[in-house]
Amino acid sequence: MPALQIDDATDALLVVDVQNDFCPNGALAVPRGDEVVPVVNHLAERFGHVLLTQDWHPPGHRSFASSHPGKRPFETAELAYGTQVLWPDHCVKGTLGAELHRDLAMDKAELIIRKGFRPEIDSYSAFFENDRKTPTGLSGYLRTRGFKRLFLAGLATDFCVHYSAVDGAALGFTIVVIEDGCRAIDLAGSLGAAKAAMAGAGVRLTTAAAFDP
């Protein structure tokens, strides 16, 4: 089977939230989350354009269970924009946990989109906050640069990768998720639901091997 061809004029790799707190021993560790690092680095060698996202929460963020007396991590709360999963405190801006993984190759990164920095709104998607209407600015950047196809890898498949993929497709971009470059939390069946949602949105799934001759 021929290798998947990358067009440097219109294609970009988007690396989602490969941060210490989402890796083993982190505050919100995704199982085997650090395994995506060598895959992402391998992919970055093949792309002419690499973009990153970074969860960047202020202390006391409303998505933290610690901000809701009597609530525990992974329970839910009703916030102004709807039902929110409550997380352990994680990716607090300026902390070691919020830093990108030290082994992540970042020398080709042209943009880092920080999200979740508004105290009252969480942000899974690289395109919108969780109120589903506050943009991050990524869409405008992609259109200005002329990017049409976006390849996603990172953490976690069923949350930030999933929401980014579905939103990107809804905005008219061609979205491809590189499955072995992602890992999932799989909270109460969230991985299966995420895959179904991505398929329904027209998101293509592939593997890193598809880029190799």
- Print the SS3 string covering the chain: CCCCCCCCCCEEEEEECCEHHHCCCCCCCCCCHHHHHHHHHHHHCCCCCEEEEEECECCCCCCEHHHCCCCCCCCEEEECCEEEECECCCCECCCHHHCECCCCCCCCEEEEEEECCCCCCCCCCCCECCCCCCECCHHHHHHHHCCCEEEEEEECHHHHHHHHHHHHHHCCCEEEEEEEEEECCCCCCHHHHHHHHHHHCCCEEECHHHHCC
Q: The whole model's pTM is what?
A: 0.96
Catalytic one of 11, 55, 91, 160? 160
Domain limits, the chain: 12-59+89-206
| Active-site residue flag, 17 | yes
pLDDT of residue 176: 98
pLDDT of residue 1: 57
The pLDDT tens digits of the residues spanning 35-79 come to 999 999 999 999 999 999 999 999 999 999 999 999 999 999 999
Percent of all residues in the chain with a pLDDT value above 90, rounded to a whole number: 96
Q: Is the pLDDT of residue 3 over 90?
A: no
pLDDT of residue 213: 76
| Active-site residue flag, 115 | yes
Percent of all residues in the chain with a pLDDT value above 70, rounded to a whole number: 100
| Active-site residue flag, 160 | yes
20-27 average pLDDT score: 98
15-19 average pLDDT score: 98
Assigned CATH topology for domain 12-59+89-206: Rossmann fold (3.40.50)
The pLDDT tens digits of the residues spanning 83-116 come to 999 999 999 999 999 999 999 999 999 999 999 9
Catalytic one of 23, 55, 115, 158? 115
The pLDDT tens digits of the residues spanning 139-152 come to 999 999 999 999 99
